[in-house]
Amino acid sequence: MADSTDMFGAAPEPQDAGSSAAELEAAGQGAMFGEPVAAAIPAATPVSAPVPVAAPVAPAQPYRVLARKYRPQTFSALIGQEAMVQTLANAIRRDRLAHAFLMTGVRGVGKTSTARLIAKALNCIGPDGQGGPTIDPCGQCEPCRAIAEGRHIDVIEMDAASHTGVDDVREIIEAVRYAAVSARYKIYIIDEVHMLSRNAFNALLKTLEEPPAHVKFLFATTEVDKLPVTVLSRCQRFDLRRIPTTLLAQHFAHVCKEEGVEAEDEALAMVAAAAEGSARDGLSILDQAISHADLAGSGEGETIRVSAEQVRDMLGLADKTLQRRLFAALLAADGPALLEEVAHQYALGIEPVAMMRAQLDLVHKITVTQISGPEGQARSAEESAALEGWAADLGAGQLHRLWQLLLKGHDEVRTAPDPLVAAQMSLLRALHAAGMPDPGGLVRKMEEMLAQAPALAAAAAAAQAGGEGAPAGATGLVPGASANANANANAGIGVGAGMDWEGLVEQVEEISPLTGATMRLSVRLIELRRGTLRYQLAPGLPGDPTADIKKTLQGLTGEMWLVERLDGEAAAGALPSLVEAKQAREAEAEAAMRADPLVRAALEAFPGAEILDESNPATAERRPWQPARSRQA
């Protein structure tokens, strides 16, 4: 009966060695029937006094991480999801509750917490036990407390990652037929529902489409694209958004206040940025930062203080300084400093592909800073100041060119046999191209040169008027004019009324291409009348085409023709051939174009540049690997 005495706090009594078995048996029977044990013991046996026992000490509660301790217990504590809360509030208020809800979003934004809050909102009965569904569950009634503690018999939470088969779904199908035991609704919360197998989804479809009135399904998933469309169409879907960085920082400040921890605003901003929109990730980082600050030297009784410097070291943000230093060397076109920074980072264990990725990330942050400011792009005041400075100094064209060069370099480094060498060459290529002006800047520079050099405009006007700078032999040739106009401009050359030399050559080319080509290329017109043609033959053509020209003209017009070739003084004043006239017009146009101030500035900015005419096969073939640029007259 030692156990019986222990129940009341008394110490077990020692047994006398001389006591008989009968006495011991009598003592046992007396205890069995509730009689005092001392009555069955001989008077000679001394009875020891009760020994006082200290009150039992309650076991210490284990530490709960911040992510679990500050899990939202009401919809008002759920941050960043106001649209979903408003929708649910209206649905509950108007009694328009769906039978299945689907919460989707990235990790740590409140999907499972929202599902539990919905279960509490639907089953809350209020402190007085008379309440109904509400968007503000009391948290005091038995259903609210049981759901919060995970012990409510009618709220079944299942992890689909470990219950993926048809048998698990079959248990749900069998159980939904029975009404809730003590709650208003029987609720099934299936987390990571995308892990269910295809057969399991198919088995659930019919029940999900027409469940009993007392059953609600709450699904949560991070990969909604893996769910069948047939399941999506049967659920009311809520896309939980990433929580903004500023809102996370405010939430973390509230948590630090509750925990009695002092934290710098910059430190909380860096933690919020590192969380990437996830409250759970941010609370885990904050938990680590508080532990790091405590280990850094806060003594017993002192207030823990989380500083930005400690958070920066903990998150490894000191490496950002190396990235900015490398980018600064690239922009300054300092090749030796760039190679030294690459070697330094490589010695620290940073892979070349990670260097390129970091430079790409920096260019992206600067570009976004130009448009919307550094908020959300920087994790420290130093980085924010650097981004703002580069955003003000660099043009959009330079940043986009750097992005393309670094992106190409990243692909090269990833596939190169020696990544370090590839990274060096890629960064040096970007270094040499970083200082080149963008097209917009080049145009502005040309406009400035034009404003500062009015003499160039005057020279261009003189060249266009046929003055100094016009090519020799181009005087009097008007682009597009016929032979009649040219003949009228040259004394002593007669052209009959209605006679068009170029038109006549075109007709000859239709019936005799060889003769027509000869007339266009080598015949310099002296006199053209009806039935009469006198010309000078341009040098370089062997033989005498007079007979062929005469025969072709007679066949074309049906009349006799006098075709005579003249040389020496008789040929003085002959017009250039049609080809020579065309070449003269092109030379004049090109001279006028080169005299234009903008073109002249462009040629000075790019020594060795050429003007190519894409309509001319001769010039187009000179650069077969490079698209020809149209010449603007």
Predicted confidence band at 454 (pLDDT cuts at 50, 70, 90)?
low
Lowest mean pLDDT among 128-137, 340-349, 602-611, 618-627: 618-627
| Residues 279-318 pLDDT 10s | 999 999 999 888 888 655 545 556 788 888 888 778 776 5
Q: How far apart are CA 559 and CA 467, in angstroms?
A: 44
Predicted confidence band at 616 (pLDDT cuts at 50, 70, 90)?
low
Q: What is the pLDDT of residue 153?
A: 92
Higher pLDDT, 569 or 229: 229
60: pLDDT strictly greater than 70: no
Cβ–Cβ under 8 Å, residues 135 and 88: yes
- pLDDT average, residue stretch 356-366: 91
Cβ–Cβ under 8 Å, residues 266 and 273: no
- pLDDT average, residue stretch 371-394: 77
Cβ–Cβ under 8 Å, residues 246 and 373: no
445: pLDDT strictly greater than 80: no
For the four alpha carbons of 536, 542, 543 and 548, in that order, the dihedral sign comes to negative
Predicted confidence band at 33 (pLDDT cuts at 50, 70, 90)?
very low
- pLDDT average, residue stretch 210-223: 92
Predicted confidence band at 374 (pLDDT cuts at 50, 70, 90)?
low
Q: How far apart are CA 247 and CA 266, in angstroms?
A: 14
The one-letter code for the residue type at 88 is L
| Residues 82-127 pLDDT 10s | 888 899 889 988 888 899 999 999 888 889 999 999 999 999 998 8
**Six token digits for residue 591:** 């001279």
* DSSP class per residue in 485-543: HHHHTSTT--B-TT--HHHHHHHHHHH-HHHHHHHHHHEEEEEEETTEEEEEEPTT--S
Q: Mind listing the domains of the chain with CATH numbers?
A: 2-40 (no CATH), 66-239 (3.40.50.300), 245-315 (1.10.8.60), 319-436 (1.20.272.10), 483-575 (3.30.300)
Residue whose entry in the numeric block shows the structure tokens 């008002």 = 76
Q: Phi and psi (nearest 5°) for 185?
A: -130, 145
| Residues 556-565 pLDDT 10s | 888 888 888 8
Higher pLDDT, 498 or 331: 331
Coil, strand or helix at 215: strand
Highest mean pLDDT range out of 12-26, 205-219, 611-625?
205-219
